Amino acid sequence: MNFESGTITPAAADDWGFETDTRNQSRRRWIIIGAVIALLLVLIVAWMSFSGGSEPTKAGAATAENAKGGAGGGDDSIPSVTVISPGSSQVERVITSTGTLAARREMPVGVAGEGGQIVRVLVEPGQWVGAGQVLATVDHSVQSQQLEQLSAQIRVSEADARLAQAELDRATALSARGFISGSDLDRKTATRDAANARVRVSRAQYAESRARTGRLDIRAPAAGLVLTRGVEPGQIVGAGSGVLFRIARGGEMELLAQVSETDLAVIARGASATVTPVGSANGFTGQIWQISPVIDPQSRQGTARIALAYSAALRPGGFAEARIVAGASRSPLLPESAVLNDDAGNYVYVIDAQNKAQRRAVTIGQVTNAGVTISAGLSGQERIVVSAGAFLSPGDVVRPVRAPATATPAAR
């Protein structure tokens, strides 16, 4: 070992224990840092606990409620719960359903006459037509010639009738002077009557042919909206051609709403409904005008037919949702958080006069956006726990805090 050199070699440092001292100092430094961090964490937790406990609460409301109930007013260990007394609200029973839009009275139009070749089509889908308006015309050139022939026959018959009448008049004059016998006069009279009959026959044949020719034109049976067109010029049509046009009488539409067997029993004819087609944000008001007398044995549903006025947004064959109002009643209306359920059924927690939580079984009515209606089990005057009911047990003493008074909207 060289002490005169004035320097310490690494080997000498190991011999003197310098490395061990350095390691001990580093370990102590990390211990101190860890202790400081732990102390900071403890201080932060304590500050958060202190802040949470001193945060302003509805202590005034709780104190007032406890003063009314008289139990546990000064015990900070008693939990606070928010309560409401819902009273009773006018609640409309709304049934939601879906279905298909259709024409309320759809009129299929086909060939009424003999048919033939279509010459012109005069309407398009979406066009309004009047009763008797021509939708398409069929070539009737042959029928026109037949009408001319029958018209000529009428003129011939009329000429024969005039001649027969003239001969009868002359025979009558001669018979008065004794130049013609009575039998000859009778024959002249019969000839005149036969000629007049032939005139009537000719006219009837002409009218029949004219009616047949008129039926070649395809006409609207009643005023309405053309839904479909299934014929084009040049097409040959006849009695077996099927439906050429479909017309919605008066443009009236309807929704064939599929309703469950249970809901169908409470729907009445004339009930109002709001129909919203798929893809549209607008609702259309209608009324139920017919309720299906049968139930589908497979789906257990029936059809409620909702009459609607014409609108371009209501397209037959489209899908729509309906909200049907099936009456109204007065019932307590609670937030969904207030109603709990388990194996025993639905229930709420009611706070009694001693500020103790009591379990109360209830029967749920309709679930709406405004809340849950209670059809049985509550009068509406009780103090009912709004939330945190899942953390209570029957008999627990609580500090009730009334929820802020707000207007409860009618359930729809």
Q: Per residue in 182-208, pLDDT tens?
A: 788 888 889 989 989 999 998 998 888
Q: Is residue 234 part of a domain?
A: no
Cβ pair 288, 304 in contact under 8 A:
yes
Pick 277 or 171 by higher pLDDT. 277
- Euclidean distance between CA atoms 188 and 177, whole angstroms: 17
Q: What is the pTM of this model?
A: 0.54
The whole-chain average pLDDT of the chain stands at: 80
Residue 82: the pLDDT is: 85
pLDDT exceeds 80 at position 161: yes
Rounded to an integer, the average pLDDT of 231-254 is 90
The per-residue pLDDT for range 306-316, each reduced to its tens digit, is 999 998 889 99
4 is a domain residue: no
Q: Are residues 264 and 337 in the same domain?
A: no
Strands (E), 139-283: 218-219, 224-229, 236-237, 245-249, 253-260, 272-277
Q: Tell me, what's the pLDDT at 50?
A: 60
Residues 80 and 128 in one domain: no
Give the highest mean pLDDT range of 60-74, 172-186, 257-271.
Answer: 257-271
Domain that holds residue 342: 65-88+332-402
Q: Could you tell me if residue 386 is inside a domain?
A: yes
pLDDT at 58 over 50: no
Which of the listed residues 288, 303, 326 is the one where a domain comes to its end? 326
The pLDDT value given to residue 16: 43
Please check whether residue 3 lies inside any domain of the structure: no
Q: Which of 48-62, 106-120, 288-302 has the lowest mean pLDDT?
A: 48-62
Which residues have C-beta within 8 Å of that of residue 154, sequence separation ≥ 6? 199, 202, 203, 206
Q: What is the C-alpha separation between 410 and 269, in angstroms, rounded?
A: 23
Domain of 288, CATH number, reads: 2.40.30.170
Give the span between the Cα atoms of 404 and 28, in whole angstroms: 58
d(CA 88, CA 72): 30
Span 330-345, pLDDT tens digits: 778 888 888 888 888 8
pLDDT classification of 124: cutoffs 50, 70, 90:
very high
Q: What is the mean pLDDT of residues 156-164?
A: 89
Residue 5 lies in a domain: no
* CA-closest candidate to residue 278, choices 322, 319, 324, 323: 319
Is residue 64 pLDDT above 80, yes or no?
no
Pair 198, 119 in one domain: yes
One domain, residues 338 and 321: no
Contacts 24+ apart (CB under 8 A), 203-212: 203/154, 205/150, 205/153, 206/147, 206/150, 206/151, 206/153, 206/154, 209/143, 209/146, 209/147, 209/150, 210/147, 212/113, 212/114, 212/143
Same domain for 321 and 337? no
The residue from 272, 303, 326 where one domain ends is 326
Is the pLDDT reported for residue 49 higher than 70? no
Task: Indicate the residue among 326, 359, 387 that finishes a domain.
Answer: 326
* Total domains, the chain: 4
Residue 37 sits in the same domain as residue 78: no
| pLDDT reported for residue 22 | 60
How far apart CA 206 and CA 148 sit, in angstroms, is 9
Q: Which residue has the tokens 């060939």?
A: 111
Helix axes 141-176, 182-214, angle to 10 degrees: 160
pLDDT at 23: 64
pLDDT at 28: 78
Whether 129 has a pLDDT exceeding 90, the answer reads yes
**Does residue 280 sit in the same domain as residue 345?**
no
Looking up residue 79, the CATH number of its domain turns out to be 2.40.420.20
Q: Are residues 263 and 289 in the same domain?
A: yes
From residue 308, alpha-carbon distances to 220, 223, 264, 283, 325 in Å are: 22, 17, 19, 11, 16
Q: Do 351 and 386 fall into the same domain? A: yes
SS3 74: coil
Asked if residue 388 has pLDDT above 90, the reply is no
Are both 116 and 199 inside the same structural domain?
yes
Task: Specify the 3-state DSSP secondary structure of 100.
Answer: strand
Q: In this predicted model, what pLDDT tens digit does every residue of 283-292 receive, in sequence order?
A: 999 999 999 8
Rounded to the nearest 5 percent, the helix, strand and coil shares of the chain are 35, 30, 35
Q: What is the DSSP string of 256-278?
A: EEEEEHHHHTT--TT-EEEEEET
Sign of CA dihedral 344, 345, 348, 354: negative
Mean pLDDT throughout 120-141? Answer: 91
Torsion of CA 164, 170, 171, 172, to 10 degrees: 110
Average pLDDT in the 14-41 region? 69
**Is 264 part of a structural domain of the chain?**
yes
Residue 321 has pLDDT above 70, yes or no: yes
Do 119 and 215 lie in one domain? The reply is yes
Terminal CA-to-CA distance of the chain, rounded, Å?
100
Indicate whether 231 belongs to any domain: no
In angstroms, rounded to a whole number, what is the distance separating the alpha carbons of residues 196 and 202? 10
What pLDDT score was predicted for residue 63? 42
Report the pLDDT value the prediction gives residue 136, as an integer from 0 to 100: 92
Please tell me whether residues 39 and 74 are part of one structural domain: no
Averaged over 164-168, what is the pLDDT? 88
In a domain, 344, yes or no: yes
pLDDT recorded at residue 406: 52
* The pLDDT value given to residue 70: 42
